[in-house]
Structure 1
Amino acid sequence: MISKVGQIMLYVNNQDEAVNFWTEKVGFRVISEENNGQGMRWIEIAPTTGAETSIILHNKELVAKMSPGMNLGTPSLMFFAENFNELHSELVNKNVKVGEIVNMGSSRVFNFADYEDNYFAVMEK
């Protein structure tokens, strides 16, 4: 039986730019970085050390060559934040493309985009 989501694969055009965005703009940490010596490099990031789920940044072009036909689209990710207003303001102040805060039932949500215009959502928790 599956007990939890371990890693989410995010395929990006520029891994270094993606690492910079997630660490400098969103506040994630690099958990590990691997390179198989044959051009395959992956970087594991997470909001905190010890997080149950992490994101693995892969080179989209290389993965497409290795696995033709694989869906390399951006997954629809919803992050939870306890410091919702602070996070929204911080992203705006860091010049991240951020959407308006909207009410969704009993919760509030906003979205933001990375350098490649991949959109992600944040829900107040």
Structure 2
Amino acid sequence: MINQIGKITLYVNDQEEAKKFWTEKMEFVVKFEAQMGPNMTWLEVGPREEAFTTFVLYNKALMQMQKPDMALTHPSILLSTKDIEVAHMKMKANGVEVQDIMIMPYGKMFSFKDQDGNDYLLREDK
């Protein structure tokens, strides 16, 4: 029936600022970008061109105007890396706000914030 997770919507304050964060600091690629109307853009980013799952960066204010009753709180999102130390060092060098690496019985991970101050977790999966 369902074979993959396709897209995760992130509601952002400024699409261009979010696009710069994900492409310049996190080294994602723009997978798709198209005008949806005079003031709206559909914008998807992913970790690499071949990646199936993407983040849709959607303008929070426009969504609130369209659907005032919609909950726009940030979802809990875990991303994956094969080398936590390299990822931590690179993200820090790129100006991403990162926390210290935590070593847990089930693996290594650290949290970081995006351009709007939302929290994410990066976990090492070998």
RMSD of the alignment, in Å? Answer: 1.0
The separation in 2 between residues aligned to 1:93 and 1:67, in whole angstroms, is 38
Identify the residue that residue 121 of structure 2 maps to in structure 1.
121
1:106 CA displacement: 2.6
What SS does the corresponding residue of 1:111 show, helix, strand or coil? strand
Q: What TM-score do the two structures reach when normalised by structure 2?
A: 0.94
Of stretches 54-63 and 90-99 in structure 1, the one that deviates more from structure 2 is: 90-99
Q: In 2, are the aligned partners of 1:42 and 1:59 still within 8 Å (CA)? A: no
Identify the residue that residue 35 of structure 2 maps to in structure 1.
35
1:19 aligns with 2:19: yes
1:96 CA displacement: 1.2
The separation in 1 between residues aligned to 2:42 and 2:78, in whole angstroms, is 22
The separation in 1 between residues aligned to 2:36 and 2:55, in whole angstroms, is 18
Could you list the structure 1 runs, at least 4 aligned residues long, displaced by more than 6 angstroms after superposition.
Answer: none
- Alignment gaps of 5+ in structure 2: none
Q: How many residues align?
A: 125
- Summarize deviations over 1:61-103 as a string: whole Å, max 9, x none: 0011101111111111100101221110011112211011002
Aligned letter for 2:11? Y
- Alignment gaps of 5+ in structure 1: none
- Summarize deviations over 1:28-50 as a string: whole Å, max 9, x none: 00011011233121210000112
What SS does the corresponding residue of 1:3 show, helix, strand or coil? coil
Identify the residue that residue 92 of structure 2 maps to in structure 1.
92
Aligned letter for 1:109? M
